Amino acid sequence: MAEITSFSGKAAAADGQSLIDAAVADLMLQVGARVRRAREQKGLARRVLSEMSGVSPRYLAQLESGEGNISIGLLKRVAVALEYRVEWLVGQDDPQSSDVLSVAEQFRAADRETQQAVLDALAAGADQGQRAERICLVGLRGAGKSTLGRMAGAALDLPFVELNREIESAGGMPVEEIMALYGQEGYRRLEADALDRIAQTHERMILAVAGGIVAEPATYHALLSRFHTIWLKASPEDHMARVRAQGDTRPMQGNPEAMAQLRSILHSREALYERAHAQLDTSGQSVEDTLAGLQGLIRDRGFLD
């Protein structure tokens, strides 16, 4: 009887393994077919997609045939090059017929005013509970996001995360190289993915984001919906002085109009930054005083309640 039971258990395990192998094979065929169809619809030769993604033509051929056991990292590169989210390639819904994809494409093609109207309508019923105890610091470079975020995290016993470091980790290279390889659009896709991943894995935290995130309507909407956002304000002079104090002289090198350009950027983004849930002016303040002000603001607004 024991031998029969043992044999039955092994048979069941073998059947289970066969089902798993079949499911994996089906997924590989699905991903391969979707990658091939997306590439062909964009009119890209496999060699061109290889150059755009950094994945070899041989690997791409195996992937499209359903025989390539591709890593998540390489599949992400292919997805970015094809301008698809990686979940659309591996999800159950066909990305070519999905209503979600259709809506996303229409949103991208709409003008900024229409995009903002859509986001405002979606935000009308947003639940503040979605933000949990997540805090995000926004503002231009030199506002003190990294310095204050790290110090506030230590003082409040909250993990501190810089979004650009998460993007670099996912992309496998520095932000500068990501921008050079994939351009602004590729960087923004990685940024949106990283923000979503962080929101799903952290209930309590302080996040610092790049200053330009507010100019990407969908990503900024997600940020406002899932984080208590604080705009760290500063004068153009303070922004420039802090960047240079960090040892970065690039903003001024060979550009006598750097300060005028900085003022223009601040002015153009002011209305966007003002959508943050709170503001803290750091102009002319010491780090210690600003930190105390930030902690008081977080406490008074109940962002950690």
The answer to whether residue 266 scores a pLDDT higher than 60 is yes
Average pLDDT on 21-50 reads 80
Which domain range does residue 210 map to? 113-300
In this structure, the answer to whether residues 130 and 227 fall within a common structural domain is yes
pLDDT band at 68 (very low <50, low <70, confident <90, very high): low
State the CATH number of the domain containing residue 30.
1.10.260.40
In this structure, the answer to whether residues 150 and 289 fall within a common structural domain is yes
Look at residues 285, 284, 274, 280 and name the one whose alpha carbon lies nearest to residue 295: 280
pLDDT of residue 42: 72
Average pLDDT on 278-296 reads 92
> What residues are paired with 228 via a beta bridge?
135
In angstroms, the CA 225 to CA 229 distance is: 9
121-147 pLDDT tens trace: 665 445 556 898 999 999 988 888 999
pLDDT of residue 81: 78
In this structure, the answer to whether residues 243 and 271 fall within a common structural domain is yes
pLDDT of residue 251: 45
User: Element (H or E) spanning 189, and its range?
Assistant: helix 175-201
Of the candidate ranges 10-24, 63-77, 179-193, the one whose mean pLDDT is the lowest: 10-24
Domain count, the chain: 2
Of the candidate ranges 16-25, 165-174, 203-212, 235-244, the one whose mean pLDDT is the lowest: 16-25
169-186 pLDDT tens trace: 888 899 999 888 888 888
The answer to whether residue 288 scores a pLDDT higher than 90 is yes
pLDDT of residue 72: 72
Instruction: Note the pTM of the prediction, 2 decimals.
Output: 0.60
In this structure, the answer to whether residues 173 and 60 fall within a common structural domain is no
Contact indicator for 66, 28 with CB cutoff of 8 Å: yes
In angstroms, the CA 37 to CA 97 distance is: 12
pLDDT of residue 93: 55
Look at residues 300, 275, 279, 302 and name the one whose alpha carbon lies nearest to residue 123: 275
Q: Which of 99, 129, 164 is the last residue of a domain?
A: 99
In this structure, the answer to whether residues 123 and 208 fall within a common structural domain is yes
Look at residues 112, 114, 138 and name the one whose alpha carbon lies nearest to residue 266: 138
For residues 76-89, one letter each, b for 16 or more C-beta atoms within 10 angstroms of the residue's C-beta and e for the rest, the string is: bbbbbbbebbbebb
User: Element (H or E) spanning 200, and its range?
Assistant: helix 175-201
In angstroms, the CA 49 to CA 51 distance is: 5
pLDDT of residue 252: 46
> What's at 91, amino acid-wise?
G
In angstroms, the CA 246 to CA 93 distance is: 48
Q: Where are the beta strands (DSSP E) in 183-222?
A: 204-208
* Higher-scoring residue by pLDDT: 276, 261: 276
* Higher-scoring residue by pLDDT: 36, 128: 36
In angstroms, the CA 301 to CA 15 distance is: 57
**Helix-strand-coil split of the chain, %, nearest 5:** 65, 10, 25
Q: Which of 99, 127, 155 is the last residue of a domain?
A: 99
